[in-house]
Amino acid sequence: MSKESLATVRWVWKNGELIKFEDATVHVLTHALHYGSGWFEGIRCYETARGPAVFRLREHMERLVASCKIFRADLPFSVEEMCQAAIDTIGANEYNECYVRPIVFRGFGSVGVNPLNNPIESFIIVWPWGKYLGPEAHELGVDTCVSTWRRLAPSGFPASAKATGTYLNSQLIKMEAVLGGFAEGIALDESGHLAEGSGENLFLVNDGVVLTPPRISSILPGITRSTILTLAEEMGIPVRRKRLPRAMLYTCDEAFFTGTAAEVTPIRSVDRIPVGEGKPGPITRRLMEAYMDVVCGRRPDHHGWLTYCQPTPPARQPAEPAEVVR
C-alpha cells in the first residue's frame, strides 16, 4: 500500500469522535512509539449486492479487547461501541469497500518502560487496499522462502495477542524474503516446526487433508484461519491442526496463506522448490472461491459473519459566519 492509497481518506475515528485525517496525530513521547505498547486489528469491508458489509467485525473487535487485556490495557470502549465506530468511519468516508484498522495504544503520560501511567488512545482508520501480496497472487500463487528468523516462544511473548511490538519480528521475516526475491517468508517456531508467514497463517494440503499449525506453534489465532477451517469442514474436506515439520513444505500437494489482508493466497513455491505442480491446487481454489463468495455476500451467511452498513453522510464542519454587507 502506497501513500497515494490514503489520498481519499477524509475522516478518522479517535477516542469516540470523527476527526479530520490530517488531525490524526500523536505526541513524539507516545509510549507506543518508544516501547511498542499497542494492539490492533485488520478488518475488511466488502462491496455486496446489499451494500457495504464488514466481515466478522465483532470477532475482530473481541480479539482486540482480548489483546489489550493480556497487556493490562483497559480499552474504554465496549465491543459494541468499537463495532459501531468502525461502521461510522466507513460511512463518513463513503466507502463501499475498504480495509479497516482499529488501533489501541498507550499515549503520552510518562516516559519509561512501565506503561501503567500512560493514557489509552483509540483510533480507527479506513482506506482502500487491494491484494496484499500482489494483484496476481490469487490467480498464480506466490513464491516464498523459509525465514532464518523464528517466531518467539510462547513463554517469552503471547502470540495470541495482536500487538504492535510483535511485528518487529514480522518485519525481519518480511524484509529477508523481499530482499531475497520472494513475496513472503515462512517462519518456524522455537522447536523448528512450521509456524506462519510474517502476517498470515499457513495451510498445507496433503492427500486431500487440510493441515495447519496449532496455536502452540507460536501463531496468531487468525480469524480468516478460523473461517477456512469452518468452511473446509462444511465442504467435507478433512482438517487437522498439528505440528508440521519444515520438510512438508517441499512434499505437500498444495499450500496457501490466510489472513484478512492476504485473504486466501496460494503458495506456488518454497525456497524455489515448486509446491505440487507449481500453481494453485484444486482444494486451495475451492476454499478460495468459497471464502470470496462468503465475504462478498454471494452465498448464504449461516454464521452471521457479515455486518451490513449503509454509507452515512460525512461529519460536517461548522458553517462559516455569513459575510456582513455594509
Average pLDDT, consecutive stretches of 10 residues, N- to C-terminus, the chain (326 residues) = 78 97 97 98 97 97 98 96 98 96 97 96 94 82 98 90 96 98 98 97 98 97 98 98 98 98 97 97 98 96 93 44 33
Which residue among 74, 104, 127 closes a domain? 127
Catalytic residue among 69, 162, 174, 242: 162
Rg from Cα positions in the chain: 21
Range of the domain at 275: 137-299
Environment class of 132 (CB within 10 Å of its CB; exposed 0-12, middle 13-18, buried 19+): buried
Q: How far is CA 163 from the centre of its chain?
A: 12
Same domain, 122 and 147: no
Nearest-CA neighbor of 122 among 42, 26, 56?
Answer: 26
In a domain, 318, yes or no: no
Same domain, 143 and 287: yes
Environment class of 79 (CB within 10 Å of its CB; exposed 0-12, middle 13-18, buried 19+): middle
In a domain, 277, yes or no: yes
pLDDT at 1: 58
Which residue among 94, 127, 160 closes a domain? 127
CB 145 within 8 A of CB 270: yes
CATH at residue 59: 3.30.470.10
Which residue among 77, 98, 127 closes a domain? 127
Same domain, 161 and 256: yes
Only one residue has cell 503458495, namely: 267
pLDDT at 175: 98
Give the three cell numbers for residue 322.
455569513
Same domain, 216 and 249: yes
Same domain, 184 and 38: no
Same domain, 248 and 176: yes
Same domain, 158 and 53: no
Contacts of 52 (CB under 8 A, 6+ apart): 45, 46, 90, 95, 96, 97, 308, 309, 310, 311
pLDDT at 129: 87
pLDDT at 318: 38
Domains of the chain: total = 2
In a domain, 316, yes or no: no
In a domain, 76, yes or no: yes
Q: What's the predicted TM-score (pTM) here? A: 0.91
Q: Is 162 a catalytic residue?
A: yes
